[in-house]
Homo-oligomer: A and B are copies of this chain.
Amino acid sequence: MANTVKIFDTTLRDGTQGEGISLSVEDKLKIAQKLDSLGVSYIEGGWPGSNNKDIEFFTRVKDLKLQHAKITAFGSTRRKETLPENDVNLNRILEVGVSVATIFGKSWDFHVHKAIQTTLEENLAMIYDSVKYLKSNGLEVIYDAEHFFDGYKNNPDYALATITKAQEAGADWVVLCDTNGGTLPHEISAIVTKVKQTLAVPIGIHAHNDCELGVANSLAAVMAGAEQVQGTINGYGERCGNANLCSIIPNLQLKLKYNVIEEQQLASLTKVARYVGEIANMHMPVNQPYVGAAAFAHKGGIHVSAILRNSSTYEHIVPEQVGNKQRVLVSELAGQSNLLFKAQELGLEFDTNNEQTKLLIEQIKQMEHEGYQFEGADATLELLIRSAYGKLEDIFTLESFKIIVGKSETHPVSSEAIVKIRIHGHTEYNAAEGNGPVNALDNALRKCLVKYYPGIQDMHLVDYKVRVLDEKDTTAAKVRVLIETTDFHSTWSTVGVSENVIEASWMALSDSFRYALLGRTPSGALPEEQKERLGVINH
């Protein structure tokens, strides 16, 4: 079918060139499995000629039995003045046993002279020989024309000659790369159109985001006839990143009506994006298009009123199409309609005219002024709303805690916590060690609670963030601690603010336990409807 676009994912290769990204073989295998389930056509696993970690990946990925995606190995054309059969880099691609090879060569005359320092003729021979060698060994060959657009702008005839050579040697695909990310959509469109008039082989696009146009450039190329798009999950990659597949896929499929992946695969996009972000240990920007936590979040009071009337007035797609959902943020800007929405989500009767509501709004404004942020801490917000409406039974109260952390030349660092709470009419007093002060606090509080609520053994912290609020006040500044906790059924977030990182951590930690205990009966397991509720209101 003419309007099918194949997705080539290079998160595991070009994506790892991004600042702060480093993936173990284990990480890469997990991501490959997710990419396969998302329905991409090609997964570029790494550069076997460049490092051993990548070789291990190619060996182990065979055991995964992927359903959909072909695994491809990356490499360059042969070195100048050698034979391809003597080229270690090309032979590594053959050795790792993939069915698809992706090799890059030079398109820009300037680079031929400056970077590889050879003649224009030798570069054409390098391209031809390398593609031919891989084809003669039975591989599907994707030829990545590095710097194609810069090369074309500088010397169109030579740039076209390089990809014509790749076609002559039998390449299955010619992929035009905007390696430096400096090309604009109208240029991409004109140059891809020209290439389509010159070549018969299917064309792909590989764009970077240096002008914040990686997605636009990919779309422009497809509209001019490209049938393969290379990119990465969340746009990871060197400098400003590669073209972001998490935006390209829904744009192509939902807006331009190309066949890319299945409908139910598209509905897993948000989950896949966040999973890869977690594995890569990269913070997901809340404002990321389509898959970010704020992509369908509404803050302005006027918008929120309209959304309560009709959802489609302020949303460009139905969020569930990409597995995301609508969310309303609580903020001083928004007025009462946002809190109303939140309360409705919780199934609480919320009368904007009564005294309790007004006090609650004042309290939230005051806390926001002190540095609290509830946008990322739904569980703390729920506790506040429940408390205002008398719907919160305070299961435990703090009497005291103390933390001692010490280190010397002869002793490694140690952390101890002592916690004293009142619970169900008793005083519980426990000490615990930990790998750090927050862990020690967590352990000591757990010891106090677990004999009443054994079910809390299941819950554990999954993220712990500290933000200095007023940078002008040095180390004495206020800090905000955000804690994310999971119990396998769901995940919830809590917040604490203090000038003291330990106190802020205590606040967030104790809110997390309070939230987990909502609706629990002493010594009882988590009731079914509790699981349900947690699943609904958290994200």
Binding site for B on A (CB under 8 A): 16-20, 22, 51, 110-111, 114-115, 179-182, 184-186, 209-216, 219-220, 223, 235, 238-241, 244, 247, 250-251, 255-256, 278, 281, 283, 285-290, 292-300, 303, 306, 309-310, 313-317, 329, 331-333, 368, 373, 375-376, 398-409, 413, 415, 420, 434-439, 442, 460-469, 471, 474-477, 479, 498-503, 506
Q: Which of B180, B212, B244, B409 contacts A400 (CB 8 A)?
A: B409
Q: Given A439-B474, A502-B436, A211–B289 Cβ distance below 8 Å?
A: yes
A251, B306: Cα distance in complex, Å: 35
Q: Which of B241, B315, B415 contacts A180 (CB 8 A)?
A: B315
Chain B nearest CB, measured from A403 CB (Å): 4
Of the A-B pairs whose beta carbons lie under 8 Å apart in the complex, a sample of 11, sorted by A's number, is A20-B286, A20-B373, A110-B313, A114-B310, A278-B471, A400-B407, A402-B407, A413-B503, A435-B475, A439-B476, A464-B466
Residues in B neighbouring A314, C-beta threshold 8 A: 179-180
Contact assessment for A476 and B434 in the assembled complex, using a CB-CB cutoff below 8 Å: yes
Q: Which of B210, B464, B466, B501 contacts A289 (CB 8 A)?
A: B210
Contact assessment for B406 and A403 in the assembled complex, using a CB-CB cutoff below 8 Å: yes
CB nearest to A247 among chain B residues: B212
Contact assessment for A303 and B238 in the assembled complex, using a CB-CB cutoff below 8 Å: yes
Copies of the protein in its oligomer: 2
Residues in B neighbouring A209, C-beta threshold 8 A: 287, 289
Contact assessment for B247 and A475 in the assembled complex, using a CB-CB cutoff below 8 Å: no
Q: With A281-B469, A398-B409, A436-B498 given, can you name 8 additional A-B contacts, CB distance below 8 Å?
A: A22-B331, A212-B251, A239-B295, A239-B297, A398-B407, A400-B409, A435-B477, A439-B474
Contact assessment for A402 and B406 in the assembled complex, using a CB-CB cutoff below 8 Å: yes
Interface centre among A239, A289, A297, A313 (most CB of B within 10 A): A239
Chain B nearest CB, measured from A170 CB (Å): 26
Contact assessment for B332 and A295 in the assembled complex, using a CB-CB cutoff below 8 Å: no
Interface centre among A211, A469, A503 (most CB of B within 10 A): A211
Q: Given A289-B209, A289-B211, A333-B17, A437–B502 Cβ distance below 8 Å?
A: yes
CB nearest to A306 among chain B residues: B115
A500, B298: Cα distance in complex, Å: 38
Residues in B neighbouring A467, C-beta threshold 8 A: 281, 465
Interface centre among A215, A303, A316 (most CB of B within 10 A): A316
Residues in B neighbouring A309, C-beta threshold 8 A: 114-115
Q: Given A179-B314, A309-B115, A247–B436 Cβ distance below 8 Å?
A: no
Q: Given A314-B180, A407-B503, A465–B466 Cβ distance below 8 Å?
A: yes
Chain B nearest CB, measured from A280 CB (Å): 12
Contact assessment for A475 and B436 in the assembled complex, using a CB-CB cutoff below 8 Å: yes
Residues in B neighbouring A287, C-beta threshold 8 A: 18-19, 209, 235, 239-241
Q: Given A212-B215, A404-B404, A438–B501 Cβ distance below 8 Å?
A: yes
A250, B210: Cα distance in complex, Å: 11
Q: Which of B214, B278, B292, B316 contacts A211 (CB 8 A)?
A: B316
Residues in B neighbouring A442, C-beta threshold 8 A: 474-475
Chain B nearest CB, measured from A378 CB (Å): 13
CB nearest to A410 among chain B residues: B400
CB nearest to A462 among chain B residues: B471
Contact assessment for B399 and A408 in the assembled complex, using a CB-CB cutoff below 8 Å: yes
